[in-house]
Chain A
Amino acid sequence: DTGVSQNPRHKITKRGQNVTFRCDPISEHNRLYWYRQTLGQGPEFLTYFQNEAQLEKSRLLSDRFSAERPKGSFSTLEIQRTEQGDSAMYLCASSSPWEGYNEQFFGPGTRLTVL
């Protein structure tokens, strides 16, 4: 296992389209997090899962956003009816109970551009 992977790495879409991103965490990491990072800023928390359960959602996660982790392994983040303000880097991270969940390992991110 080489780390957290995210696909696609880049996505360009037109305003109003739906997009879906995938995150594969490190094996045996049962917590998975989604963050959004705009240019020159720090990442902002969106949501996180422990196994299949979505334990917390940020107010940033509007009704157009939905995240799932159906089998407790990979996760998907879908944005419906994209807006230009959704353009950002979407980061996924995972953590393990063996580290007390305190160290999060990040993926390379998916850069979304909404035209």
Chain B
Amino acid sequence: AQTVTQSQPEMSVQEAETVTLSCTYDTSESDYYLFWYKQPPSRQMILVIRQEAYKQQNATENRFSVNFQKAAKSFSLKISDSQLGDAAMYFCASTNTGKLIFGQGTTLQVKP
């Protein structure tokens, strides 16, 4: 069975600084996908970034990038130049069959 673990319940970052959110996962599948989703307070979940396991190159989306370490089963999210609008709960998730398996989430606070 797939599992996803986020060991940081809360993180904080100063506006314009960089922060890294951690995620580890476990799967016996060779073909899978990893995601980071953002859930602002009382707002819906949106996809931040995704990584295909077969790709060695780390995904990037503007200020968001990942550090995908396949052997270590680690998938961290780096947010550069943090903005107040980045404050939200961030979920790491994995899938190989369609259904998403989510971690427990990390609440990110951005300080002005």
- Count A-B contacts at CB 8 Å: 51
Give which listed residue, A44, A95, A106, contacts B45 with CB less than 8 A: A106
| Residues on the A chain within 8 Å of B103, using CB | 42
Contact A95 B91 (CB under 8 A): no
Chain B's closest residue to A58 (CB) is B99
Q: A41-B104, A42-B104, A48-B99 are in contact. Are A108 and B91 (CB under 8 A)?
A: no
Give which listed residue, A31, A43, A107, contacts B91 with CB less than 8 A: A43
Contact A108 B44 (CB under 8 A): yes
Chain A nearest CB, measured from B109 CB (Å): 15
Once bound together, how far apart are the Cα atoms of A21 and B93, in whole Å?
A: 25
Chain A nearest CB, measured from B1 CB (Å): 11
Given contacts A48-B98, A103-B47, A106-B44, 19 further A-B contacts (CB under 8 A): A33-B98, A33-B99, A33-B100, A40-B105, A42-B4, A42-B103, A42-B104, A42-B105, A43-B45, A44-B102, A45-B101, A56-B97, A95-B98, A101-B98, A102-B33, A102-B95, A104-B47, A106-B45, A106-B46
What are 18 pairs between A and B in contact, CB < 8 Å?
A33-B99, A42-B4, A42-B91, A42-B93, A42-B103, A43-B100, A43-B102, A45-B100, A48-B98, A55-B98, A56-B98, A56-B99, A101-B98, A102-B33, A103-B50, A106-B46, A107-B44, A108-B44
